Structure 1
């Protein structure tokens, strides 16, 4: 039980560190600050996976393998979780950038297509005066990374065009890892 509690306590600390990085990301006003927090987040969140893995194998390799199987499959298939793993690898093992930014960013929605059964599509202008609906001094975004010769693109965000923001990505990843840790506790009683 000592191996479980030791490795698991490290996993809990790393999840807390990832949560702190996420909280700090929401308050960043400079690219350098966001970059530091995102890099810290991806390192901490991936350590959660490794430390829980170590704790589970120490208790019962076979039972843990079965427990981890659906989470491992989800992590491999989910574009965001897969991207975070490779962004972390790129950050740790190369000199690549893992975030980017646009200065004086604005976005003007042009319109949308309204579809009705049995009728032709109709273009509906969302903003006929073409005034920017979003205006920011800076927009932080994730960038393509290369890990072991393969390129990985960040998934697109919800609600805005373009790659998912680091804040949205961190929030989504935290939900997965919290659920993973809670399920581990329920299964193995850590």
Structure 2
């Protein structure tokens, strides 16, 4: 009987110690305000729950200094041209990404050709409606930006969708008017363009 009572006493003591340990380990949450309605992540810092949320990266650029008024004017012209053609490059990116998604789930060759034809017509309509009015410089920038956004040159895109002969023919016409469908984009070589794009707000 004494042994049984001793055992019961030990059990109660152990149980009470465990409860106290659990109570001590309970995390402390910050008090919510009246307008605190947004769920956020939190981290346990020695028993205190610290709320946090991930913010978007912020790029801070120093104010550009120009050596002369002519250099400033040239940069402003470049900025104007980049901002004018950037929406077209983004449109081409979205349209060809959609085309690739559609082709990936379409097995029929006839349907694939119809999808390519529809995409080609949409791009051509945009060219006939707006892009044909671009200057030579703007067209040169556009071919670079398409390579930047799509990851392939305009020549490669035409070759993939229309075939090698069509790409060759388009390139001949482009070269006559001062364009090069094989133009590639280099963030280091085209650093002024890259700087303009990064500060333009297109990716916010």
When the two structures are superposed, what TM-score results if normalisation uses the length of structure 2? 0.29
When the two structures are superposed, what TM-score results if normalisation uses the length of structure 1? 0.30
More helix by share: 2
**Rg: which structure is higher?**
2
Structure with larger RCO (C-alpha < 8 A, sep 6+): 1
